[in-house]
Structure 1
Amino acid sequence: MNTTDLSVMALGGATVLYAIAMVAYAIRLARVADDKVAAKAAVREPVAAGGVSPAEAVGSAPAVPAASSPGAKARKAAGIARSTTLVGALLHAVGLTARGIDAGHVPWSNMYEYTISGSFFAVLAFLIIQRKRDVAYLGAGVTGIATVSLGLALTVLYKDVDTLPPALQSYWLVIHVSIATIVTGIFAVSFIASALQLMRDSRDTGRRWTGDRVRWLDAVPSAANLEALSFRLNAVGFVLWTFTVMAGAIWAEHAWGRYWGWDPKEVWSFVIWVLYAAYLHARTTQGWAGRRSAWLAIAGFTALIMNFTVVNLFFQGLHTYAGS
C-alpha cells in the first residue's frame, strides 16, 4: 500500500464514521427532546382525587432499569456520536497527512485538497469547542457537512498529485492558505449555529417550524444562546480572515508585483470580509441582534462557499489553478 492508497482509504473511512456520527447526533437530539417533553408532561399531570402525586409515588414505584431510564438512550447515542466523530477525525488527519507526504507539499493546492482540509478544520473546531462546553446539538450539522464534503471530494473533485504551479511554490502557501482553511472550518460551525438560531427563533415565535416533526428543536439552546455562540466564532473567524486577505495581498506583490489586481478571487475574498465586518458592526453597535444578524452571518458563509465553488470553477483569473 502506497501513501495515495492510504490517504484515500483513511478519508473514505472518515466519511463513513462521520455519517454514522451524524445519525447518532440526530438520534440524540430526538431523544433529548422526547425526554424534555415527557418531563414537562409529568410536571403538568394533575393529581387524581384521593391519589398521590408523581413525586410521592416515586418511592413505591418499581425501579426503572438503567438502560430504559430517562436520558439513557440519549446518552448512549451521544457516546456513539462522540467516539465515531473522534475516530473519524483521526482517520481524516491520517488521510490529510498521507496526501501531503505523497504530494511533497502541504495538502491545499487545489479544490480536492481544500475540501478535505476545510472539512477537517470544521470538525476540529467542533471538537475543541466541545471540550469547553456541551455543543452536541451542533454535531449533526458539523458531521453532515464533513460527510458531504469528503464524499464530493473523493468522488467528484479528486485529483492526482501534481507538481505545484510556480505561483504556489512559496512559503506563503503555508501561511495564507492554511489560515484560510482554518477560518473556513470556524465559519462553517458558526453557520450551523446561525441556522439553528433562525429555526429556534421561528419555533419560539410561532412563525414556522412548529409541530411534532421538529420537536428536536426542544433539544437546542435558546436563540439568544445560539446567537452568542455564533458571534464569538464569527469574531475569531473575522480576525483570521482579515489576516488571510492581508497575507494574500503580500503574496500577490511577491508573485505578481502588485498587492491588488481586482482578480475575481481577490474581489470575492473582499466581499466576504465586508459581509462579516458588517455583521460584527451591526451586531455590536447598531443593535442588530436576533434574526437580522443571523441572516448576515449566513450571507457571509454563502459568499465563502461561492468563492470556493463558483469563482474557482467559472471565473478566469490569476487564481484559476485553484479550481483544478
Structure 2
Amino acid sequence: MPVNETLSTFSDYSFRAALLIYVLALAFYAAEQAFGRSRRQAVQRQRERELVGTGGRGDSSVESTAAATGRDTSDTDEESWSTISYARSLPDRVGRMAVALTVLGILVHLASLVLRGFAAGRVPWGNMYEFISVTCVSAVIAWVVVLRKVVARYVTAYVLLPVVILMFIAGTALYTTAAPVQPALDSYWIVIHVSTVAASSGLLLVPGVASVLYLFRRANAANPQRFAGFVSRLPSEAVLDRIAYRTTVFAFPIYTFAIIVGAVWAEAAWGRFWGWDPKETVSFIAWVIYAAYLHSRATAGWRGIRAAVINTVGFAAMIFNLFFVNLVTAGLHSYAGVG
C-alpha cells in the first residue's frame, strides 16, 4: 500500500505541535511551582495577622465562601483559608491552564498517531520513533487519570520532563518517515504485543518518577538542608508512595500480558517461545523487579524507602531496555528497533 504523504506530513506536524504544547505546559507547571509556594506562605502570614487583629475570629470572606459551597462555616483554620485564597490566585490559574494544555497536548498527540497509521496503512508503532510516541502519550494519559484521583499537580512537571526529552529524541535522532511495516513484523501480533509493551512502558514511567521523588523526600528527611527548596514543593511521602504503588498495580498485568503474547509471537515467527535474546532477557529482568516490588508490598509489608528503591531500579531497567538494548545490542529484535 503506498504511503499517503499528505497525511504523513500532517502527522509530523501534529507530533511537533504536541511536543511544543507539552513544553508550554511544563513551563506553566514550573511557574506555578516557583510562585505557588510563596503565595501560600503569604496567604498564611496574612491570615495570622488577621487572627491577631480580630482576636481569633474567622474572616467574613471565608464564611461567605463556605456558605456558598455548603461547607461548615466554623472551618476557618489557616489551611482552609489558605486553600480558598490560593484558588483565587494567579499561580493556581496558571496551574489550571497547564492542565488544560496537557489535555490539549494529548489530543494533538493522539491525532499524530492516528494520521501516521492512516498514512502508512498500518498500526502506528512499527519503529522506534512511533513506539516512543505511543509510550509517551500513554504516560501522559496515565498521569492525567492520576491527577483526577490525587491532588499532586506539582508533580506533573517531573512527569512531563522525561516525556518531552523522549519525544525530542524520537523526533530528531530516531525519526523515521512513514512506510509500510517490515515483512518480519507483518503480523496481527504486532497489534497486540507492541501496543501493550508501549502502553505498559508509558504507565510504568509514572511510578518510576513518583519513586524517584519519594527518595528525594526521604533524603531531605534525613538531612533537612538537602534539597530543601526542591522537596518543599512536592506532595507528602504517603502520596508519592500511593501513586507509585497503585499505578504499578495497574500497569504490571499489562506488562505481563505483553511478555506472554511476545513469547507466543516468537514461537510462531522463530520456532521457540524464549531464546534469551537481549531484549527478552532485560524485559524479563524488569518483570522480576516489578514482581518483587509488588510481592514485597503485599507479603512483607515493605513500604517507604525499600519499596521506592526497588521501583526505581525497575524504572531504570525499562529505560535501559528502551534505549541501550534497542540501539546498541544486536539481537532478533534489532531489525525494527521496536520494544
- Does residue 266 of structure 2 align to residue 240 of structure 1? no
- Residue-by-residue CA offset, 1:279-320 (whole Å, 9 max, x unaligned): 112222223211121111111011111111101111111111
- Give 1:292's aligned amino acid: R
Secondary structure of 2:274 counterpart: coil
Secondary structure of 1:309 counterpart: helix
Distance 1:261 1:187 in 2: 25
Partner of 1:63: none
Partner of 2:95: 78
Partner of 2:9: 5
- Does residue 279 of structure 2 align to residue 265 of structure 1? yes
Deviation at residue 70 of structure 1 after TM alignment? 3.9
- Does residue 145 of structure 2 align to residue 145 of structure 1? no
Secondary structure of 1:306 counterpart: helix
Contact 1:85 1:143 in 2 (8 A): no
How many residues are aligned here? Answer: 311
Deviation at residue 55 of structure 1 after TM alignment? 4.7
Deviation at residue 54 of structure 1 after TM alignment? 7.5
Deviation at residue 179 of structure 1 after TM alignment? 0.8
Deviation at residue 162 of structure 1 after TM alignment? 2.8
Secondary structure of 1:322 counterpart: coil
The structure-2 alpha-carbon separation of the partners of 1:280 and 1:55, relative to structure 1 and needing over 3 Å to count, comes to same
Distance 1:70 1:136 in 2: 14
Partner of 2:288: 274
Partner of 1:158: 175
List aligned pairs for 1:1-324, cutoff 5 A: 2-39=6-43, 41=45, 52-53=53-54, 55=56, 70-71=86-87, 72-206=89-223, 209-211=226-228, 213-214=229-230, 217-323=231-337
Contact 1:110 1:321 in 2 (8 A): no
Structure 1: which 5+ residue stretches go unaligned? 61-68
Structure-1-length-normalised TM-score: 0.88
Distance 1:257 1:59 in 2: 76
Structure 2: which 5+ residue stretches go unaligned? 62-84
The structure-2 alpha-carbon separation of the partners of 1:235 and 1:57, relative to structure 1 and needing over 3 Å to count, comes to closer
- Residue-by-residue CA offset, 1:236-293 (whole Å, 9 max, x unaligned): 1111111111111011011111101111111111011011111112222223211121
Deviation at residue 40 of structure 1 after TM alignment? 5.0
Using the TM superposition, name which of 27-36 and 121-130 deviates more. Answer: 27-36
Distance 1:89 1:192 in 2: 19
Contact 2:137 2:202 in 1 (8 A): yes
- Give 1:9's aligned amino acid: Y
Distance 2:105 2:55 in 1: 44
Deviation at residue 13 of structure 1 after TM alignment? 0.8
Using the TM superposition, name which of 164-173 and 179-188 deviates more. Answer: 164-173
Deviation at residue 58 of structure 1 after TM alignment? 5.4
- Give 1:17's aligned amino acid: I
Distance 2:253 2:221 in 1: 33
- Residue-by-residue CA offset, 1:127-170 (whole Å, 9 max, x unaligned): 22223333312311222222222211111110112332232111
Q: Cα RMSD between the aligned structures? A: 2.5
The structure-2 alpha-carbon separation of the partners of 1:57 and 1:251, relative to structure 1 and needing over 3 Å to count, comes to closer
The structure-2 alpha-carbon separation of the partners of 1:237 and 1:150, relative to structure 1 and needing over 3 Å to count, comes to same
- Give 1:52's aligned amino acid: G
Distance 1:297 1:103 in 2: 37
Secondary structure of 1:319 counterpart: coil
Deviation at residue 235 of structure 1 after TM alignment? 1.4
- Residue-by-residue CA offset, 1:163-196 (whole Å, 9 max, x unaligned): 3223211111011111111111111111121122
Contact 1:103 1:162 in 2 (8 A): yes
Using the TM superposition, name which of 306-315 and 286-295 deviates more. Answer: 286-295
The structure-2 alpha-carbon separation of the partners of 1:188 and 1:54, relative to structure 1 and needing over 3 Å to count, comes to farther
Using the TM superposition, name which of 230-239 and 22-31 deviates more. Answer: 22-31
- Give 1:152's aligned amino acid: I
Distance 1:236 1:223 in 2: 20
Distance 1:38 1:296 in 2: 39
- Give 1:11's aligned amino acid: F
The structure-2 alpha-carbon separation of the partners of 1:125 and 1:57, relative to structure 1 and needing over 3 Å to count, comes to closer
Structure-2-length-normalised TM-score: 0.84
